[in-house]
Structure 1
Amino acid sequence: MNVPDKRVFVVTSGKGGVGKTLVAAGLGAALASLGHRVALVDADTGLRKLDVALGLENRVVYDSVDVVRGRCSLREALVRDKRLGTLYFLPAAQREDKTAVSPEDMREICARLAESFDFVLVDSPAGIEHGFRTAARAAEAALLVTTPDIAAVRDADRVAGLLAEVGLAAPLLVVNRARPRLERTGDSLSPEDVAEALRLRPFAVLPEDERAVVCGNRGLPVTLDPASAAGRALRAAALRLAGEPCAVPRTPNRKGGGLLGRLAGFLKGEVAPEW
């Protein structure tokens, strides 16, 4: 798979709860483990979560709004990870409106970070409102995260279209919580189904993994847990992002069940979803 020769990536999704922050934190930690200088940026003003995923919530002093308003320098706002010396984190503000950081502000912050870091990963808010547009306009390429669920894929399709509108066509697709057992019985979409529906090639496939929940509660990126299957998949994705040859793991072929056809109807607007 050809990976864009870019430095600033937005990690985004159509709906919340699909593992977007898990992917951002895990990829950042994995890239830092490979020796790259990595800056993780939380763009979810008002609802920051990346600090918790990294276990750095107690070390936050300044945030991106403080940088924008001149209350501190960008260097002062960056939090250095306590486990990986080349991983840094820029928090979002918790008590500010999402409009406190404009697309121009975020673009300038990311451009400055790209001068000193090998990778800048921006954790976008879920959905398609102001926060998403702010994060997307600052990026050079995108990672689109979804689960193999009809509602999540339909929302991801909408986001893929909006990414194309701001010049981020062909995002790198990350399918989280793949369920091979349900794929074999036709009760879950496979990563191939998701890729076909979104007209994208899978960049990473993360299996459903209880260790991911444990890591999230402990503030540990999954890629730092050797027992995590999702972490192993993300470590392989980090190699691909860094330009190293590493194949995307295959999953079982779908058995059927009509889910892909049903999803195709939703994406065309021909069928009303059953909630």
Structure 2
Amino acid sequence: MKGNVRQAILDNQDDITEEWGSRIEQFRQDEALQNVSSAVYENTSRDFVQKLLITIQQNDVSGRDLNQFVERLIQMGWPLNFITRGLQEFRKSAVKVIADHSGEVKDQLELFQEIESWVDDVVDQLVNQYSGSWENTVFLQKMALKELSAPLIPVFDKISVMPLVGTIDTERAKLIMENLLDGVIEHRSQVVLIDITGVPVVDTMVAHHIIQASEAVRLVGATCILVGIRPEIAQTIVNLGIDLGKFPTKSTLKKGIETALGMTKREIVELEG
């Protein structure tokens, strides 16, 4: 940004800040900001415009203060359009305030072009930063999901448990299937208990994945028992007309283990004395 335009913005920063504040008040109606208190919104808005002014003063669109501020907003869950729209409103405010003090059309045109170019550069910088943060977050979530994608845990000789936690989608179902089959072979399991206690919703797709997993286990010589069927899950399964009659089901892991022990010709007994 040219020095004369930058100086004009800094000389009129109080008026620009006031104009900008009145313009962004409309953002409060956004659904994503409904849970933000008025005090937090005002403080955040004030910090935002101050970071913009510091960036202009330093004449550096990749200013550290602004980048750290935006990164903190993203981590707090603020929408990206608050930042991009805020920049556009800052452009309009700066052009209006400074144009009111300049009578030359040529000066106003230069002013508009310089601020427009500066805003575009800042938006590009921040969007790239946001995209990088988002991609990194998605990558970390995928890695965490992979780690939680149900290890097969041997609990007794020939008996293993696979606890499922969270939502099951197609990608995760594929990982579950791979872990299940690899674990059955590795642990030489004869009975596998699939525990869905931690699965919040069992719909047709989830049931389909579970049925596929049980069929795959049967083909490698083991048997599946579905455990952790809560009353609401049982009702959902019945209402959806899902047929889980091809393999045993139990309401709790404890009952499932007792059944698995019986299938492997064992039982738990209390010792006397």
Name the TM-score, length of structure 1 as normaliser: 0.27
Greater helix percent: which structure? 2
Looking at secondary structure, tell me which structure has more strand per residue. Answer: 1
Question: Greater RCO between the two (CA within 8 Å, min separation 6)?
Answer: 1
